[in-house]
């Protein structure tokens, strides 16, 4: 990354100084080996100019991507699609709070477009600061029980965040009742049938408290008029059907139906900037692993694939992506993971039945108890290296939560 890019022309003096200091601090932090520096750089910049994010966003057409799962991948797909039009600033390293956004925009210099991944809790603040052209809302489900807001509260925050931003176009998942309820606060909405494998956070209507019924792809509240809107974009197998009825088969390097859905959302967002899907589809096929997610590495004759799963909905998606081959599960409960592992009981591990399952991580014993309850045989290994040695040459799938995933990446010498 370049750290000496010219600041965007026309910034107020205070913002120019703040942006410059922000980039310098980020560069120093990188030079000191303290990560990519985007958080510290953004933090210092915002201390000097609290409106720095708004100043840096001014003059750019912005897309924001938020949701519990899939936002890093969807951000990368959307940035790739908007690349058809010109240069795009993006927080591709996943620093998804205002400090990270500030740093990403300062570092990028002047670009006509920006695509930002936004932590769900900060969506309101970032909408106010960046006045986005499009906001994509992917899904809402339970995450980090000890500190995240409840799903219904988060949906209410999103709803409030969208109210009063009549110029912002919302692209939202028609299959998630919580997202639909929140998105209806917007005046311009495009619905994408992105799917929802995880239903356990949306049985109760956020509008009236009645039960939500499901029938095939359809869903509706039994107590009020909240129901699945008719989607303009939807996924058909490995293809995306657009709002004009065109059909594009996607050849992605990332696995699973969920990534086809993420790509569909990215195409729908890009379409609102004037990108034709036919021009964007080949760019989506170029997107490979993101910060090690879905990376495949070969080690001692084993082909190892890394799947990150941070919460119950993410684990269900990972089971769907994982091939029926030996599978290593690794769980930690350090600060970035959330300290409470009781979510393990929200996940049905039975899709792993019939595979050879190995477990490791700080909280392997919690996982062991959970697998016992599910009747899944497993072997405990002390380390990732021991797991690799324990399986025969061939495929090994690894599913890990956040810090467990980072530990394994470190062991694999920062694969990318
Ligand atoms: Zn209702």
Least confident span in 21-25, 155-159, 165-169: 21-25
Counting runs of H as helices and runs of E as strands, what totals does the chain give? 14, 17
What is the model's pLDDT at position 416? 44
Ligand 1 center from residue 397 Cα (angstroms) = 41
Q: What is the pLDDT, as a whole number, of residue 198?
A: 82
Q: Is 367 left (phi over 0), alpha (psi -120 to 50) or beta?
A: alpha
Residue 39 has pLDDT above 90, yes or no: no
Whole-angstrom distance, CA of residue 323 vs CA of residue 341: 25
Q: How far apart are CA 221 and CA 217, in angstroms?
A: 14
Distance 79 CA to ligand 1 centre (A): 36
Q: 102: which 2 tokens? A: 């500030």
The residues near 120 (Cβ < 8 Å, ≥ 6 apart) are: 66, 67, 68, 140, 154, 157, 158
Question: What is the Å distance from ligand 1's center to 161 Cα?
Answer: 21
pLDDT tens-digit series, residues 225-276: 999 999 999 999 999 999 999 999 999 999 889 999 999 999 999 999 999 9
C-alpha of residue 122 to centroid of ligand 1, in Å: 27
Q: How far is the CA of 228 from the centre of ligand 1 (A)?
A: 12
Please report the pLDDT score of residue 126 as a whole number: 97
Chain centroid to Cα 332, Å, comes to 20
**What letter does residue 335 receive in the DSSP assignment?**
G
Q: Choose among 171, 181, 88, 94: nearest CA to 135.
A: 171
Return the exposure string of 345-364: e unless at least 16 CB atoms fall within 10 Å of the residue's CB, then b: ebbebebbeebbbbbbbbbb
Dihedral sign computed on CA atoms, order 78, 295, 408, 69: positive
Region 63-80 average pLDDT = 95
133 pLDDT higher than 60: yes
Ligand 1 centroid from CA 210, angstroms: 5
Ligand 1 centroid – CA 137 distance (Å) = 20
Query: Of 11-15, 335-339, 372-376, which gets the smallest average pLDDT?
Result: 11-15
Which of the residue ranges 112-116, 134-138, 228-232, 307-311 would you say has the lowest mean pLDDT? 307-311
| pLDDT tens per residue across span 179-232 | 999 999 999 999 999 988 888 888 899 999 999 999 999 999 999 999 999 999
8 pLDDT exceeds 80? no
Measure 317 CA to ligand 1 centroid, in angstroms: 27
* Cα 126 to Cα 123: distance, rounded to the nearest angstrom: 5
- Picking from 145, 42, 29, the residue whose alpha carbon sits closest to that of residue 102 is 42
Paired residues of 296 in beta bridges: 305
């Amino acid at each position: 990354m370049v750290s000496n890019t010219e600041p965007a022309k026309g910034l107020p003096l205070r913002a120019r100084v703040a942006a410059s200091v922000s980039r310098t601090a980020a560069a120093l932090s990188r030079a000191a080996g303290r990560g990519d520096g985007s958080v510290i750089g953004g933090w210092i910049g915002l201390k000097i100019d609290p409106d720095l994010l708004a100043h840096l966003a001014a003059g750019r057409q912005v897309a924001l991507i938020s949701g519990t799962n899939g936002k890093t991948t969807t951000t990368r797909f959307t940035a790739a699609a908007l690349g058809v039009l010109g240069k795009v600033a993006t927080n591709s390293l996943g620093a998804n709070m205002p400090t990270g956004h500030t740093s990403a925009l300062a570092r990028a210099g002047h670009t006509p477009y920006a695509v930002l991944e936004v932590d769900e809790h900060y969506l309101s603040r970032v909408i106010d600061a960046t006045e986005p052209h499009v906001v994509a809302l992917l899904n809402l489900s339970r995450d980090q029980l000890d500190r995240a807001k409840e799903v219904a509260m988060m949906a209410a925050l999103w709803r409030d965040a969208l109210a009063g931003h009549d110029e912002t176009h919302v692209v939202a998942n028609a299959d998630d009742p919580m997202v639909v309820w929140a998105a209806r606060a917007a005046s311009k909405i495009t619905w994408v049938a992105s799917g929802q494998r995880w239903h356990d956070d949306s049985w109760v209507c956020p509008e009236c408290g009645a039960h939500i019924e499901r029938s095939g792809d359809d869903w509706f509240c039994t107590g009020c008029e909240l129901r699945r809107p008719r989607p303009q974009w939807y996924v058909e197998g490995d293809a995306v059907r657009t709002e004009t009825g065109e059909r594009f088969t996607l050849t992605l390097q990332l696995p699973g139906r969920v990534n086809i859905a993420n790509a569909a959302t990215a195409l729908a967002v890009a379409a609102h900037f004037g990108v034709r899907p036919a021009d964007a589809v080949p760019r989506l096929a170029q997107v490979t692993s993101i910060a090690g997610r879905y990376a495949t590495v070969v080690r001692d004759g084993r082909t190892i694939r890394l799947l990150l799963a941070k919460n119950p909905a993410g684990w269900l998606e990972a089971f769907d992506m994982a091939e029926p081959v030996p599978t290593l599960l690794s769980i930690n409960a350090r600060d970035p993971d959330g300290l409470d592992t009781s979510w393990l009981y929200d996940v049905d591990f039975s899709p792993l039945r019939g595979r050879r399952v190995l477990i490791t991580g700080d909280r392997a014993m919690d996982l062991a108890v959970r697998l016992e309850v599910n009747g899944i045989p497993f072997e405990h290994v002390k380390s990732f290296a021991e797991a690799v040695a324990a399986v025969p040459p061939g495929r090994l799938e690894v599913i890990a939560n956040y810090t467990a995933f980072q530990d394994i990446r470190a062991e694999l010498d920062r694969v990318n």
